[in-house]
Amino acid sequence: MNNVESMLQCKKWAVVGATDNCEKFGYKIYKALKGAGYNVYPVNPGVDDILGDKCYPTLKDLPIKPEVVNVVVPPRVGEQIMKECAQIGITNVWLQPGANAESVVNTAKELGLSVVDQNCILVELRK
């Protein structure tokens, strides 16, 4: 089983960069995961709630440890998120197109994380 398949089997997700702006991918991804039956938590320090769900400022603030973190943030933020994942023991990261800069992928791999960096979760959920 490849990383994409194994991560899609996981039911507890966090979306870093989730947003209440329905035009943005952070919103679409959060809504799609939720709609597909995943237990998903939004993470964004600038947003209070998304679709009526509490939005958390950081991964460390979540009430659970997600099995997968979907990342929809600029690369400079993404590298820090990879370090945060490693610190709190999250091993699966899914970097959306645009968040998958080489520097972020390299940081994740150096930290020993499992990485999906060529697939969009919205496409995979439709399969």
Residue 90 has pLDDT above 90, yes or no: yes
Distance CA 87, CA 73 (A): 19
E-state strands within 2-64: 12-16, 39-43, 49-50, 53-54
Output the six-digit token pair for 82.
């990879």
C-alpha to C-alpha distances, 120 to 5, 87, 103, 127, nearest whole angstrom: 13, 25, 19, 11
Percent of the chain with pLDDT over 90: 98
Q: Indicate if the pLDDT at residue 54 is higher than 80.
A: yes
Mean pLDDT, residues 67-78 taken together: 96
Q: What is the mean pLDDT of the chain?
A: 97
So what CATH class is 3-126?
A: alpha beta
Mean pLDDT of 63-80: 97
Predicted confidence at residue 28, as pLDDT, reads 98
Q: How far is CA 50 from the centre of its chain?
A: 15
* pTM of this prediction exceeds 0.75: yes
